[in-house]
Amino acid sequence: MITLHYLNDSRAIRVLWMLEELGVEYELKKYQRTKEMGAPKALREANDTGKSPFLIDGEVKLAESGSIIEYLQQKYDTENQFSYERGSSEWVDQVFWTHFAEASLMPPLVVALIFNMIDGKAPFPVTLLTKKIGDQVRSRFVTPSLKANADLLEEALGKHEWIAGSQLTIADFQLAYGAQAMLGRGKLDLPNLKRWVKQVENRPAYLRAIEKGGKVSMPR
C-alpha cells in the first residue's frame, strides 16, 4: 500500500495529482504547515528529510518529488501512459523538463519568497539593510532567472499541448506547482503558460487531488 505524506500548500500536490492520474490505491497522511510556514513536528519525525512529499510503498521510502514521480512512473505506469518511449526526442524533452522544474524553476521562486518574508519580518532599522540586499538579489538573480525560465516555457508550450509534446507526462506533473507559483506573482504576461495551467487545473484527476488534499495556495 502506498502512503503519501502530504503537507498543505506544497510541492506534494505534484505527487497527489499523479497518484490520481494513475488511479492506484493510496493512503493520504495530511500535515498542516506551522505559523512560520515550516513542517510540523509530526512530519519532521516521519522521515529523515523532514520534508514533503514523502512516499512509502512497502519497503520503499522516498523523498524528493522528482524521484517519487519517476519511481511511480516506472513501477505503476506499466502502459507508459505518462512517459514517452525511452530514447525518443520527446522523451529527451520530458527528462529535461522534469529536472528543470526543481533545478531551475523553483530556486528563483524560493529566493523571492524568502526575501519577501524577511522584508515583512525584520525590525526597523535592520529592515533598511535587508530591503537593500533583497532588492539586489531580486534585480540580479530573481527577475532575470524568472524571465529566462518564462521564455523557455512559453516557447515550448507555444509548440505543443503539453510540455514535452502532445502527451501528458511526468514532466507536466513536476512542473505545474512552479508554473502556478510563477503565474501567481502576476508579473509576466504568459499566455501559453496560462493556457497550460488551466488545462492542468481542469483535469478530473487534478480536481480530485485538490478535493482530497485541499486547495493549494501559492506562496508569493
Ligand X SMILES: N[C@@H](CCC(=O)N[C@@H](CS)C(=O)NCC(=O)O)C(=O)O
Binding site for ligand X (CB under 6 A): 7, 10-11, 38-39, 51-53, 64-66, 102
Which of 11, 138 has the CB closer to ligand X? 11
Q: How far is the CB of 31 from ligand X (least distance, A)?
A: 9
In the numeric block, the cell 490505491 is attached to 25
Which of 15, 90 has the CB closer to ligand X? 15
Q: How far is the CB of 92 from ligand X (least distance, A)?
A: 22
Q: How far is the CB of 189 from ligand X (least distance, A)?
A: 26
Which of 90, 149 has the CB closer to ligand X? 149
Which of 13, 146 has the CB closer to ligand X? 13
b or e along 97-109 (b: 16 or more beta carbons within 10 Å of the residue's beta carbon)?
Answer: bbebbbebbbebb
Which of 154, 206 has the CB closer to ligand X? 206
Q: How far is the CB of 118 from ligand X (least distance, A)?
A: 16
Q: Considering only CA atoms, which of 25, 56, 43, 28 is closest in space to residue 211?
A: 28
Q: How far is the CB of 34 from ligand X (least distance, A)?
A: 8
Which of 51, 138 has the CB closer to ligand X? 51
Q: How far is the CB of 37 from ligand X (least distance, A)?
A: 8
Distances (CA, A) of 114 to 77, 99, 130: 36, 22, 11
